[in-house]
Amino acid sequence: MRLSHGFVPTLKETPAEAQIASHRLMLRAGLIRQTSAGIYAWLPLGLRVLRNIERIVREEQDRVGAQEILMPTIQPAELWRESGRYDDYGKEMLRITDRHEREMLYGPTNEEMVTDLFRQAVRSYRELPQILYHIQWKFRDEVRPRFGIMRGREFLMKDAYSFDLDHAGAVVSYRKMMLAYMRTFQRIGLQAIPMEADTGPIGGDLSHEFIILAPTGESQVYFDAAFEEMDYFSAEFSPTNPDDLERFFKLMTTHYAATDEKHDTARWDTLAADRKREGRGIEIGHIFYFGTRYTKPMNTTVTGPDGKLVHPEMGSYGVGVSRLVGAVIEASHDDNGIIWPDTVAPYKAAILNLKVGDTACDAICEKLYAALDGNAVYDDRTDRAGAKFADADLMGHPWQIVVGPRGAASGTVELKRRATGERVELSVEDALAKMG
């Protein structure tokens, strides 16, 4: 992207309505714009981050054997009446009527619809287990949408649903999805902690939410330092081996982790002082096991090994893909702007031409831009150098390549690492090599 023609409407001043860091910085860096209360348009830089996170989420779902489908945003009300949730869900659900007076709704979640799809297609226990997921826009009519995309009304969500013959199989699916989540967050650059949680309106009797630390978090959280030391891609955690999954789950649930609502001070006091960690936390994902909560009322059965009909056991697994964009910023920013992890950054580098029109500067910048092959923002505007530096820090690309006339004359550039502020002067080739 060449900034002289890019659609990146940065702001020098912070909008009055932006109360938290991610909201302020997403508006100022030109990632999003509000179109109505709690609803945002995603602009080019923001959309690239959203797509990068979506890709990682998808890859980790596929890695554990989940299969991607795509369900519609509009659902028939009759499915929700079958499950008994239509009248219970409350005003967060947007209810609509089509031209034929059929009652419909804009889906806040998809347990009913996926159960209906399953019962139309699966007949035998031999076809189990099944884990189906999709990445789709959801709508929940929040009373007071706030904090930008962190608590908006429309949001992009990955929701997955498992179907198993019995409780033992459902627990394996649950553990498999927990591993997928921890790997997803690790790749995105977030330190997540799984914590036992209430099941809420989805129902069920086993639930964990995933929390990251950020000063603007909704809850106070307490956890063991062991979570900071784990590598979830370790060979000992295989998603296809039930024994590995059991060992992984025990690690996740044995080490202390709790929000303030469930904090056990007596148990907390038994931890060594150097193992204690605490702070404010943001929820970025939630998983549930709820057995036959939906398959029974919706008359969904498969034939078991003995020939008798069985209601499959279910679980659901949600992660807010768009919310993760805000969560990354909350966890990774400074006074100057966003600090994107390499894996989700909109571009790998920003190329700053400090003297547009200078033959040597222009030539080096064009060479860099071509070599980075669509993975760089080229600031070819005629603005002052200070404005370019400020915008580069604000946008938060992992690397900045500064090209000035003095260095260009000798064939060198200044390479800056956004996360650390480290600066080195290198040849063009060495700068490209260092960025990897």
CA distances from 10 to 150, 340, 391, 421 (A): 20, 17, 8, 22
- For residues 69 and 117, give the distance between their C-alpha atoms in angstroms, rounded to a whole number: 11
What is the rounded end-to-end Cα distance, in angstroms, of the chain?
A: 20
Confidence of residue 109 (pLDDT cuts 50, 70, 90): very high
Instruction: Tell me how many domains the chain contains.
Output: 2
Residue 252 in this model has a pLDDT that exceeds 80: yes
Judge if 155 and 232 occupy the same domain: yes
Query: Lowest mean pLDDT: which of 92-106, 138-152, 351-365?
Result: 138-152
pLDDT at site 262: 87
pLDDT in tens, 119-176: 999 999 999 999 999 999 999 999 889 899 998 999 999 999 999 999 999 999 999 9
Chain mean pLDDT for the chain: 95
- For residues 318 and 156, give the distance between their C-alpha atoms in angstroms, rounded to a whole number: 11
Residue 257 in this model has a pLDDT that exceeds 80: yes
SS3 state of residue 92 = coil
Q: For 223-236, what is the mean pLDDT?
A: 93
pLDDT at site 201: 56
pTM comes to 0.95
The enclosing domain of 391 has a CATH number of: 3.40.50.800
In a domain, 171, yes or no: yes
Confidence of residue 219 (pLDDT cuts 50, 70, 90): confident
Give the domain range for residue 368.
349-435
Judge if 390 and 333 occupy the same domain: no
pLDDT at site 217: 85
pLDDT in tens, 17-68: 898 999 999 999 999 999 999 999 999 999 999 999 999 999 999 999 999 9
Q: Angle 369-370-376 (CA atoms, 0-180°, nearest 5)?
A: 35
In a domain, 374, yes or no: yes
Judge if 361 and 328 occupy the same domain: no
pLDDT at site 206: 86
Kind of pairing, strands 130-139 and 154-164?
antiparallel
Contact indicator for 9, 43 with CB cutoff of 8 Å = yes
Kind of pairing, strands 219-224 and 257-259?
antiparallel
Judge if 268 and 187 occupy the same domain: yes
Domain end position, chosen among 338, 365, 391: 338
pLDDT in tens, 272-329: 999 999 999 999 999 999 999 999 999 999 999 999 999 999 999 999 999 999 999 9
Judge if 262 and 368 occupy the same domain: no
Residue 202 in this model has a pLDDT that exceeds 60: no
Q: Angle 293-294-298 (CA atoms, 0-180°, nearest 5)?
A: 135
Contact indicator for 358, 382 with CB cutoff of 8 Å = no
Confidence of residue 15 (pLDDT cuts 50, 70, 90): confident
Residue 71 in this model has a pLDDT that exceeds 70: yes
Confidence of residue 203 (pLDDT cuts 50, 70, 90): low
Judge if 362 and 330 occupy the same domain: no
Task: Quote the percentage of the chain above a pLDDT of 90.
Answer: 90
Query: Lowest mean pLDDT: which of 204-208, 303-307, 320-324, 407-411?
Result: 204-208
Find tokens 């009909």 and name the residue.
Answer: 309
Burial class (CB in 10 A: 0-12, 13-18, 19+), 84: middle
In a domain, 9, yes or no: no
Q: For 333-359, what is the mean pLDDT?
A: 97
pLDDT at site 204: 59
Q: For 320-342, what is the mean pLDDT?
A: 96
Judge if 304 and 421 occupy the same domain: no
Task: Quote the percentage of the chain above a pLDDT of 70.
Answer: 98
Residue 197 in this model has a pLDDT that exceeds 90: no
Strands (E), 299-392: 302-303, 309-310, 313-320, 333-334, 337-338, 349-353, 376-379
Domain end position, chosen among 287, 303, 338: 338
